[in-house]
Amino acid sequence: MSNERMSGAEIVIKSLVDQGVDVIFGYPGGAVLPIYDALFKQNSIRHILVRHEQAAVHSAEGYARSTGKVGVVLVTSGPGATNAVTGLTDALMDSVPVVCLTGQVPTHLIGNDAFQECDTTGITRPCTKHNYLVKDGDKLARTIHEAFYVAASGRPGPVVVDIPKDVQFAEADYEPPHGRGHVSYRPQVDPDGDKVERAVALIAEAKRPIFYIGGGCINSGPRACALVTELIRRTGFPATMTLMGLGTFPASDKQSLGMLGMHGTYEANLAMHHCDVMINIGARFDDRVTGRLDAFAPNSTKIHIDIDPSSINKNVIVDLPVVGDVERVVERILARWTERNIVPDQPALDKWWHRIDQWRAVDCLKFTQSDEAAIKPQYAIKRLYELTKDRDTYISTEVGQHQMWAAQFYHFDKPFHWLTSGGLGTMGYGLPSAVGVQVAHPDSLVIDIAGEASILMNIQELSTIAQYRLPVKVFIINNEYMGMVRQWQELLHGSRYSESYSAGLPDFVKLAESFGATGLRATKPNEVDDVIAQMLAADGPVIVDMVVSKEENCFPMIPGGAAHNEILLGPNGQAEQEASEQGMVLV
């Protein structure tokens, strides 16, 4: 069969169509004009015009993480490519599959400091899973197909394909996807049988077990999440999730201890600290989770299921690494569990749950909202949860205290509904990511829980929202501070609030109106429900300015470098905390 001849730009479009792409997020410029021209002439792919290339990548991330598909970005050379760098780094840190097509100056000008030239492959090499510069049109289709394969397989990540303008014009052969894999890149998805056997034995014997569930389960897909849920239920073990793993196992289930780590729950962190068998499924022992390494879960045997061998023994030396895809590994563990008819040590488990229940009784997320005082941020998010939990609600966040309160107070019972920037912690992630989610799920409720500082980092996306009439809701927890920064300054820098006050804020209600959106504001606790109801009743986009108490801190908190059992409970719990600390070390 002879391949079809067409222009490079047409090859780009045809490759995307053959990869099943229906929407791309982009911003035009000189070096991608041929591709924009080809886009103009077709109807299969929808282009969403963002207002900043960083936002294009975050939108693609939101699209990808809420659908399980690859998110696609198209930007021009030079500033288009450099603007995309933060988004690419974000996608790399959080393992989000993204393909980013960048325009480049014509091949013969590369290296000449041509207009809007930058060394895109050089700049993005450390912030992508892989990147390509395509100098030969005959390799264009093959490279784009390979880019999708690399982005989506193994541990997912962002891939850049840099396409010089002459390659976009030149006629070349189109090659359809071949599905033959790759010569040198072959991620291990199936685990060693022996490792599975030993994992099953360890799980069966455990007396104080805990499942430590991470974003790898989300990456592995819906079936993986269902299998992990089944494993947790069949064992009857407690489970805790990382920020990236939230939603894998239902938060409202009794076996869920909530999130662990720096701002995780008391029960999750103490159960991690005192466990005898830790079963890490798709988590990477991030330092926000482990705290002080030499005091991390002492006396525990650690099983680590991960598709990326470089995640293993990186921060924490584990006893039993199982390299493979979560779905395949857990499927096998469950199969062996059934075949061997395993019954866990119930009396030991009962004792363990009894201890966990005592930790739970501390009620570490307790807060008091009095009617007269200012709105507590926790209260606002709790009410938002109560009033939206029965809908198909997607929550994205910016970065800061509001993000942590969202993780603590918005309970996710389903995977793929929680979008947040964990690894890079990118302020400005939430709004564009909500755009991507809303594009993918036009009829769902999409809410960006934002901070007043973060929202200004990509506020220009209100214009994208207006253009496409996306009914995104922006729920600003407005404490007039870069709250997370202020909290650290209060606790660790003698309350010297250096440059962390949000001065010069816009009137968010008027700002909303200027973009044709609805603006709402609540300043008193008794207005919260009403404002949320109005937000939900509005058909179009809404900005809610939730004016909350300014100096609330986010607890529990394990200060950087502390151990899990040195968790701080905050003003309400601290007295008990001091008294029981000795005891906790002893038990």
Partner 1 sequence: MAKPSRRLLNRAWSSFKPLFDPQQPTRGPHDLGPAPVWSKTLSELIERHTIAVLVDNEPGVLARVIGLFSGRGYNIASLTVAPVNEDETVSRINIVTSGTPQIIEQIKAQLDRLVPVRMVRDLTLEGRHIERETALIKVVGEGADRREALRIADIFRARVSDTTIGSFVFALTGSPEKLDSFIELMRALGSVEVARSGVVAIARGGAAL
Ligand X SMILES: Cc1cc2nc3c(=O)[nH]c(=O)nc-3n(C[C@H](O)[C@H](O)[C@H](O)COP(=O)(O)OP(=O)(O)OC[C@H]3O[C@@H](n4cnc5c(N)ncnc54)[C@H](O)[C@@H]3O)c2cc1C
Ligand Y SMILES: Cc1ncc(C[n+]2csc(CCOP(=O)(O)OP(=O)(O)O)c2C)c(N)n1
Provide the binding-site residues for partner 1, judged by CB under 8 A.
121-122, 125-126, 129-131, 133, 150, 182-185, 198, 202, 205, 276-277, 292-294, 296-302, 308-310, 312-315, 317, 319-320, 490-492, 551, 557-562, 566, 568-571, 574-575, 577-578, 581
Classify burial at 350, counting beta carbons within 10 Å of its beta carbon; exposed 0-12, middle 13-18, buried 19 or more. exposed
Which sign, positive or negative, has the C-alpha torsion 393, 396, 400, 403?
positive
Among ligand Y, partner 1, ligand X, none, partner that 276 touches (CB below 5 to 8 angstroms by kind): partner 1
Name which position in 221, 425, 540, 559 contacts ligand Y (CB under 6 A): 425
Name which position in 270, 427, 547, 557 contacts ligand Y (CB under 6 A): 427
Report which of 453, 378, 389, 377 is spatially closest to residue 418, judged by C-alpha positions.
389
Residue 74, token pair as written in the block: 């198209």
**Residue 428 touches Mg ion, criterion: CB under 5 A:** no
Nearer to ligand Y, 104 or 408 (CB): 408
DSSP state of 266: H
Q: 3-state DSSP call for residue 550? A: coil
Nearer to ligand Y, 148 or 379 (CB): 379
Task: Assess whether 19 carries a catalytic annotation.
Answer: no
Among Mg ion, partner 1, ligand Y, none, partner that 485 touches (CB below 5 to 8 angstroms by kind): ligand Y
Distance CA 87, CA 97 (A): 12
**Residue 78 touches ligand Y, criterion: CB under 6 A:** no
- Phi, psi at 481, each rounded to 5°: -140, 155
Distance CA 199, CA 541 (A): 49
Cis amide prior to 556 (ω within 30 degrees): yes
Give least dist CB 19 to partner 1, A: 18
Instruction: Work out the angle between the directed axes of helices 377-388 and 401-409 (0-180°, nearest 10).
Output: 40
Q: 3-state DSSP call for residue 209? A: strand
Nearer to ligand X, 146 or 331 (CB): 331
Nearer to Mg ion, 245 or 483 (CB): 483
Among Mg ion, partner 1, ligand X, none, partner that 479 touches (CB below 5 to 8 angstroms by kind): Mg ion
Q: Which of 42, 115, 171, 578 is catalytic?
A: 115
DSSP state of 148: H
Locus of tokens 């450390």 = 126
Locus of tokens 């109801």 = 533
Task: Assess whether 369 carries a catalytic annotation.
Answer: no
Give least dist CB 329 to partner 1, A: 18
Task: Assess whether 116 carries a catalytic annotation.
Answer: yes
Nearer to Mg ion, 452 or 461 (CB): 452
Task: Assess whether 412 carries a catalytic annotation.
Answer: no
Give 44-47's long-range contacts (Cβ < 8 A, gap of 24+). 44/13, 44/17, 45/13, 45/16, 45/17, 45/21, 46/22, 47/23, 47/74
**Residue 454 touches ligand Y, criterion: CB under 6 A:** yes
User: Which residue spans within 200-333 are E strands per DSSP?
Assistant: 209-213, 239-241, 256-259, 277-281, 301-306, 320-323
Among Mg ion, ligand Y, partner 1, none, partner that 219 touches (CB below 5 to 8 angstroms by kind): none
Count of residues in contact with ligand Y, rule CB under 6 A: 19
Among ligand Y, ligand X, partner 1, none, partner that 326 touches (CB below 5 to 8 angstroms by kind): ligand X
Give least dist CB 156 to ligand X, A: 6
Among ligand Y, partner 1, ligand X, none, partner that 133 touches (CB below 5 to 8 angstroms by kind): partner 1
**Residue 484 touches ligand Y, criterion: CB under 6 A:** yes
**Residue 451 touches Mg ion, criterion: CB under 5 A:** yes
**Distance between start and end Cα atoms, the chain:** 72
Among partner 1, ligand Y, ligand X, none, partner that 492 touches (CB below 5 to 8 angstroms by kind): partner 1
Give least dist CB 54 to ligand Y, A: 10
Report which of 515, 512, 552, 554 is spatially closest to residue 535, judged by C-alpha positions.
512
Is 225 within 8 Å of 245 (Cβ atoms)? no
Distance CA 406, CA 412 (A): 10
CA distances to 55, 92, 238, 362 from 426, rounded to whole Å, are 11, 12, 31, 32
Give least dist CB 505 to ligand Y, A: 10
Q: What share of the chain is helix, strand, coil (3-state, %, to 5)?
A: 45, 20, 40
Nearer to ligand X, 35 or 224 (CB): 224
Among ligand X, Mg ion, ligand Y, none, partner that 426 touches (CB below 5 to 8 angstroms by kind): ligand Y
Report strand pairing: 209-213 vs 277-281: parallel
Distance CA 193, CA 199 (A): 10
Is 220 within 8 Å of 152 (Cβ atoms)? no
Task: Assess whether 416 carries a catalytic annotation.
Answer: no
Q: Which of 14, 69, 165, 376 is catalytic?
A: 165
Positions in 481-510 near Mg ion (CB under 5 A): 483
Stretch that binds Mg ion, among 350-358, 480-488, 526-534, 568-576 (CB under 5 A): 480-488
Give least dist CB 410 to Mg ion, A: 17
Give least dist CB 481 to ligand Y, A: 5
Among ligand X, Mg ion, ligand Y, none, partner that 379 touches (CB below 5 to 8 angstroms by kind): none
Locus of tokens 């598909």 = 69
**Residue 483 touches ligand Y, criterion: CB under 6 A:** yes
Nearer to ligand X, 215 or 238 (CB): 215
Q: Which of 93, 457, 484, 546 is catalytic?
A: 484
Give least dist CB 480 to ligand Y, A: 8
Classify burial at 584, counting beta carbons within 10 Å of its beta carbon; exposed 0-12, middle 13-18, buried 19 or more. middle
Among ligand X, ligand Y, partner 1, none, partner that 220 touches (CB below 5 to 8 angstroms by kind): ligand X
Give least dist CB 400 to ligand X, A: 6
Give least dist CB 158 to partner 1, A: 13
Footprint of ligand Y (CB under 6 A): 398-402, 425-427, 451-454, 477, 479, 481-485
Footprint of Mg ion (CB under 5 A): 451-452, 479, 483
> Could you give the residue numbers annotated as active site?
53, 115-116, 165, 484
